[in-house]
Amino acid sequence: MSARRYEDELQAEKDYVDGLYERLDAERARVKARHSAALLGNGGTLVDREVEVRTLAREMQRLDVADHGLCFGRLDAVSGERSYIGRIGIFDEENEFHPLLLDWRAPAARPFYVATAASPENMRRRRQFHSRGRQVVEFTDEVLGRPGGDDPDTRSDSALLAAVNAPRGDGMRDIVATIQAEQDAIIRLDHSGVLVIEGGPGTGKTVVALHRVAYLLYTQREQMERHGVLVVGPNAAFLKHIDRVLPSLGETNVVFTTTGDLLPGLHVTAEDAPDAARLKGSLQMLDVLAAAVADRQGLPEKPFPIELSGVALQIDAEAAEWAREEARASRRPHNEARSVFREIVTYVLTERAIGRIGKGWLSRSDRTAWEQMRTELVEELAQDANFTAVLDALWPILTPETLLAQLYTSPERLAAAGADEALLRTDGDAWTVSDVPLLDELIDLLGPDKRPDPTVELERKARTEYAENVLNSLVSRADHMEDDELRLFATDVLDAEGLAERFVERDTRDLAERAAADRDWTYRHIVVDEAQELSAMDWRVLMRRCPSKSFTVVGDLAQRRSAAGAMSWGAMLEPYVPGRWEYRPLSVNYRTPAEIMTVAAALLAEFAPDVRAPESVRACGVQPWSRLVDDVELPSAIEEFVRGEAGREGTSVVIGPPGVAGTVPASATKGLEYDAVLIVDPERILADGPRGAAELYVALTRATQRLGVLHRGPLPSSLSGLAETAHRA
């Protein structure tokens, strides 16, 4: 294409996209005006207005996130028809069936991702726009239906390479415009169960998973909007890295969390030592937890004395054992079964008391008198603090936190529950990430952990009383009016309780906020990233959160560092979704250049010889380097790297083992990417065995451009491909 023709076509594309933005702005203004009117409460019921306000707020947010890169490409069909592809759909005002801009998730947009020279999908050309803000600055054409030539403007991979070579920012950029056919097939896969996407570093598996969620939200809008989507990542930094992707695609009914935040109100980041993590992640903990609960359902070593209406009684082991058997047989959670335990003990005590009090004058044949006395004795027991104290000793109301903390700090309780002594610790409630699924499990085993709150009922009665006074006041005013037969009293259309309910504060949070705060919320779909790190107990938590068992699972078994993580996908998933999970691999590395991947692949071959490293799609032309330093030189060498990268565009990170100043652990960089990476003391990272090898593999594959290594001991043989230098390259 000549320079003159290119400039003419570029201007034409700019004009077209400018028109799309005009339509976007007009639609945004219209929706904003409707939203403002709805907030003022013009017409309709309160409930209808709340629904309208929320709907319009979501629509405004959808339009706002489309502002950046609204339109990113064009398809030219063999028939001559042109279709523009973008973040949302925009239609002609005069013809609602004529799209000015196709939503990327629409079936008609599919050729934009899957068409190739060999299989053009009836398309002649794919044009990709490169924008800065609202401005189209250039475009790249791919001529389909014939092999690409040497012209870089028509190479099929030019747009992709432009995307992967771009400097990294603070957050992950959605690459919807450069999704390749292999990835697009996974995004649009029609599968209702669990989809496992496995790929090595840089294969784009996280991007694919998030775009699959956007696609499902688009194609299953009604089901998804009612329940939302949960995205689980390995750490807060990773979630911050990706949380812009889905909103930038126009989807907001999504909750982002880590496994340490799955219980509302609890934020946990600390990790256990490998042995403890492996034990806590095992399904054997189900038996331990059940036994720990049963251990708190005690029998008295000696009878407890109880005085009832002047009669001295005892709660002995026989009565308590009967009550315990009945309570357990009810199959209710522990705290709920306490009422059964209490009922049986109460029955035993009142029967014994009536027999003594009524001796000589009251028999069972006089059922009315017998039951009347029982009622009085039951009420007396209910007010007896000593009786309540005995119940608390034999069948206490427990919280998950209390039970687990007391279990961890007591060798006797651990032994009684059949738990390994490796779980013993001095600070019982110093929670770790591995404790979260156990606490979640205990919520179901224990049931509600509070007795009925009398203040709730008192508040309700107070609201009702206030409302009744308001209604009576309205009626009394009406008494002074004429035409009694035409009078309509307030009490004719609304009672006091109905009016009182109107004083109750309504929940105005959006779906994501409500779901994140509700442990019992169930999601329509769950995405699990770095899924190889999740334990069997973690999976139980997530399966409870998604009854439909609809998951997108993303991971790489070769990067597993958790002692409790997955050894195979089948072993982890078959118990929950037998025959309902599918596996899709990704084999092309878009992030890590070949120069760096060669080094990482050598390490992978040593600790996971059965795993094939992903093939890099590009080279960067910069060789990774290593440098031997001593203890004195190390701080200045790190500073030299940091100072040098500060002057470049993009991001950088220094990764090292615990205790090295100025470094972060490899685990904190999982799922992240940087333009430049410096690894410190790889020999110390490797010293942690298989876990350390996985950590070093993660560290080596974070860089998109430049990689350096500082070592104080002999360089590990697996890193022999690094070019040793006396100074930083």
For 263-283, write each residue's pLDDT tens digit.
Answer: 999 999 999 999 999 999 999
SS3 82: strand
pLDDT at 505 over 60: no
Question: Which amino acid does the sequence have at 281?
Answer: G
Question: Which amino acid does the sequence have at 545?
Answer: R
* CA 286 to chain CA centroid, nearest Å: 23
Angle among Cα 648, 654, 656 to the nearest 5 degrees reads: 165
For the beta sheet containing 99-103, the strands, ordered from the edge strand earlier in sequence to the opposite edge, are 90-91, 99-103, 82-86, 71-77, 123-132, 135-143
Q: How confident is the model at residue 482, as a pLDDT?
A: 55
Select, from the ranges 202-206, 448-452, 542-546, 717-721, the one with the highest average predicted confidence (pLDDT): 542-546
Q: How confident is the model at residue 55, as a pLDDT?
A: 79
Average the pLDDT over each of 197-206, 311-320, 569-578 and give the range with the smallest value. 197-206
Q: How confident is the model at residue 112, as a pLDDT?
A: 80
Q: How confident is the model at residue 7, as a pLDDT?
A: 93
Residue with tokens 């195979």: 568
Closest by CA to 327, choosing from 341, 345, 344, is 341
Closest by CA to 211, choosing from 83, 105, 72, 116, is 105
Q: How confident is the model at residue 248, as a pLDDT?
A: 61
Q: How confident is the model at residue 281, as a pLDDT?
A: 97
Dihedral sign (CA 215, 216, 217, 222): positive
Dihedral sign (CA 96, 102, 106, 109): positive
pLDDT mean over 146-154:
44
Question: Which amino acid does the sequence have at 123?
Answer: M
pLDDT at 172 over 80: no
Contact criterion met (CB below 8 Å) for 246 and 254: yes
621: left (phi over 0), alpha (psi -120 to 50) or beta: left
pLDDT band at 458 (very low <50, low <70, confident <90, very high): low
CA-to-CA separations, 18 to 94, 97, 258, 699, in angstroms, rounded: 19, 21, 40, 43
Average pLDDT, the chain: 85
Question: Which amino acid does the sequence have at 665?
Answer: P
Percent residues over pLDDT 90 in the chain: 53
Q: How confident is the model at residue 456, as a pLDDT?
A: 56
Alpha helix positions (H), 425-453: 436-446
Tokens of 47: 């409930």
99-103 vs 90-91, strand pairing mode: antiparallel
pLDDT at 481 over 90: no
Q: How confident is the model at residue 658, as a pLDDT?
A: 87
SS3 195: strand
Question: Which amino acid does the sequence have at 674?
Answer: Y
SS3 349: helix
Cβ burial of 476 (10 Å; 0-12, 13-18, 19+) is exposed
Closest by CA to 423, choosing from 440, 443, 406, 439, is 406
Contact criterion met (CB below 8 Å) for 89 and 104: no
SS3 501: helix
Tokens of 303: 């009878």
pLDDT at 43 over 70: no
pLDDT band at 207 (very low <50, low <70, confident <90, very high): confident
Q: How confident is the model at residue 465, as a pLDDT?
A: 73
Contact criterion met (CB below 8 Å) for 84 and 20: yes
Greater confidence, 540 or 72?
540
pLDDT band at 476 (very low <50, low <70, confident <90, very high): low
Closest by CA to 509, choosing from 50, 153, 47, is 50
Backbone angles phi, psi at 480, to 5 degrees: -90, 0
pLDDT at 370 over 80: yes
Q: How far, in Å, CA of 678 to CA of 643, rounded?
A: 12
pLDDT mean over 616-621:
86
Greater confidence, 229 or 177?
229
Q: How confident is the model at residue 185, as a pLDDT?
A: 84
Q: How confident is the model at residue 177, as a pLDDT?
A: 47
Q: How confident is the model at residue 176, as a pLDDT?
A: 46
pLDDT mean over 168-186:
61
pLDDT band at 431 (very low <50, low <70, confident <90, very high): very high
Contact residues for 492 (Cβ-Cβ < 8 A; gap 6+): none
pLDDT band at 162 (very low <50, low <70, confident <90, very high): low
pLDDT mean over 243-264:
81
Strand partners, 710: 627, 680
Q: How confident is the model at residue 150, as a pLDDT?
A: 42
Average the pLDDT over each of 145-149, 326-330, 418-422 and give the range with the smallest value. 145-149
Q: How confident is the model at residue 148, as a pLDDT?
A: 43
Angle among Cα 713, 718, 720 to the nearest 5 degrees reads: 75
pLDDT of 54-110, one tens digit each?
778 878 877 877 777 789 889 999 999 999 998 889 988 777 778 999 988 888 988
Q: How confident is the model at residue 501, as a pLDDT?
A: 58
pLDDT of 215-245, one tens digit each?
887 788 777 778 889 999 988 888 887 776 6
